[in-house]
Amino acid sequence: MDQRRTLRSSALALMAAALLASGCGGPGPGPDGDRDAAVDTAADAALRPYTTQKPVWRACGTPGFQCARLTVPLDYDRPGDGTIKLAVARKKATGPGKRLGSLLVNPGGPGGSAVEYLQLFAGTGYPAPVRARYDMVAVDPRGVAGSEPVTCLDGREMDAYTQIDQTPDDPAETRRLTDAFRSFAEGCAERSAALLPYVSTEDAARDMDILRAVLGDERLTYVGASYGTFLGATYAELFPGRTGRLVLDGALDPSRTARQVNQDQTAGFETAFRSFAADCVARADCPLSTGSTAQAADRLRALLARLDARPLPTGEPRRLGEALATTGVLAAMYDEGAWPRLREALTSALDGDGAPLLALADGYYERSGDGSYSNLMFANAAVNCLDLPPAFSSPAEVERASGAFEKASPVFGRGFAWAALNCAYWPSRATGTPHRITAEGAAPILVVGTTRDPATPYRWARALAGQLSSGTLLTYEGDGHTAYGRGSDCVDTAVNRYLLEGTVPRDGTRCR
């Protein structure tokens, strides 16, 4: 399991729900249209064939939605040398009230389909006052889903990859794991070589600016979750004068190295598991313990160790080993609403049936019943490995660092450490580096953090809000991944007021 996958938005929201343009009239001002328009540059002139294109909108998917294709340069350094077609969707403002422009949404990942997220959740699930005033818009980032997806392995190969033991106990198991990482990378190079160097977050942020111009908005209004916060912050860094109202929910800290990111997530999932365990042991149906959270953790570790030695039957050819079981447990950490399902799955596993935990893992990996996978995992690796230099360069480095990871999480630490080795074998050299993002000159940016968020630890939200010159931090004291639209009236009211009126909450506001 590639733990860096966990930077996406709520996995379970996309499973259940997860997880485009302005009106037909002429261009209108964005929500902050009274600000000076961005200065046209030579780079803008070179991109004018893209920013002046007229997309053809057609009905698609759920009634009320329209889809189109957006053409962008493959390489922004040579915008005339090749193009990519991006999938875009919108749901026009429903009224009443004056239209405020376009609201671009991204659910995270990297690799999550924004178009799917819009059609299954945001387009109908965002608060009605927001949908009334904004055209809801989404674009699948380059390399993702409908936007010329990165491809690496077929379904059979992915089944094998997801079952590889990621807590190797001897040199032979270590070789099998590193061979799997190499085979994954080689598959991506074989099937998507021409695209791999051009799927960075910076490339995707530049695509968003093309879309902003095509939609007729002077400034970008945006809600990004999880990895989508890094995408939004990168946009603000590149185009501070074109930022409108940006909401970054479940924030990443762009100053962290890949190793630090993985170790921070290790601690984040440990915090989330302790919260789950504390809730579990207070219930009569808890399969892990009726005593303490420490006992619950010990029993889970014992279960995973047994699965490492003897995988469980699942009613199909795949068996539930340690790797898939760990994925199933981690998938349920994204949303406390999944905790009852996890208790049932753990009960079944302890009784000898691995099917329920396997189903949780399959949902996380977006595996269909026919054995095929979405390209989410492929795009996730392609973007992450381009955005930051590898966390580790060799198994020996992992071994030296594994103690720190296990200290951060006695349950999950060793697996997280080994999963962070995947980018060491990537065919395209990283183009990004860890750095602070200040976005000097940007309009106010609202950063939202959840105190027990497993995938994007709360410390990252505090860090990003502190780095941004116009950042404001809104805190949700609770469980799960991200906060907006997850049941907190306090959070939703603050975000809605910002999107509709441009008023940010007082910095440091806390919601419970």
Evaluate the CA torsion angle 316, 317, 318, 321 in order and state its sign.
Answer: positive
Query: Is-catalytic flag, 453?
Result: yes
Whether 36 shows a pLDDT value over 80: the answer reads no
Mean pLDDT of 171-187: 98
Evaluate the CA torsion angle 399, 405, 410, 415 in order and state its sign.
Answer: negative
509: helix, strand or coil: strand
Mean pLDDT of 368-377: 97
Phi, psi of 382 (to 5 degrees): -60, -45
Mean pLDDT of 284-294: 91
| Model pLDDT, residue 14 | 32
Whether 482 shows a pLDDT value over 80: the answer reads yes
| Model pLDDT, residue 7 | 42
pLDDT digits (tens, 9 = 90+) for 5-25: 334 333 333 332 222 222 223
Distance CA 135, CA 480 (A): 28
Nearest to 167 by CA among 361, 277, 325: 325
More confident residue, 37 or 366: 366
| Model pLDDT, residue 10 | 30
| Model pLDDT, residue 422 | 96
pLDDT digits (tens, 9 = 90+) for 116-143: 999 999 999 999 999 999 999 999 999 9
268 exposure class (CB count in 10 Å sphere: 0-12, 13-18, 19+): buried
Whether 443 shows a pLDDT value over 50: the answer reads yes
pLDDT digits (tens, 9 = 90+) for 43-99: 888 999 999 999 999 999 788 999 999 999 999 999 999 999 999 999 999 999 999
CATH 3.40.50.1820 fits 64-149+217-255+439-510, yes or no: yes
Mean pLDDT of 259-283: 96
Mean pLDDT of 460-485: 97
| Model pLDDT, residue 289 | 83
pLDDT above 90 covers a percentage of the chain that reads: 90
Distance CA 484, CA 126 (A): 9
- Catalytic position from the list 207, 453, 479, 492: 453
Whether 37 shows a pLDDT value over 80: the answer reads no
DSSP H helices in 37-103: 42-46, 48-51
User: Which of 17-26, 99-108, 194-203 has the weakest average pLDDT?
Assistant: 17-26
455: helix, strand or coil: coil
Mean pLDDT of 326-332: 97
| Model pLDDT, residue 61 | 77
Distance CA 333, CA 353 (A): 21
Looking at the chain, the domain(s) classified CATH 3.40.50.1820 span 64-149+217-255+439-510
| Model pLDDT, residue 244 | 98
* Residue 137 and residue 102 in contact, taking contact as beta carbons nearer than 8 Å: yes
- Catalytic position from the list 22, 200, 226, 409: 226
More confident residue, 56 or 2: 56
Nearest to 252 by CA among 272, 232, 223: 232
| Model pLDDT, residue 40 | 53
* Residue 240 and residue 440 in contact, taking contact as beta carbons nearer than 8 Å: yes
Query: Is-catalytic flag, 217?
Result: no
Query: Is-catalytic flag, 226?
Result: yes
- Catalytic position from the list 253, 481, 488, 492: 481
HSE-up of residue 247 (Cα within 13 Å, Cβ side) = 30
* Residues with Cβ within 8 Å of residue 320, at least 6 apart in sequence: 307, 311, 312, 313, 314, 349, 354, 355, 357, 358
| Model pLDDT, residue 43 | 80
Distance CA 138, CA 477 (A): 29
Phi, psi of 96 (to 5 degrees): -80, 180
| Model pLDDT, residue 437 | 98
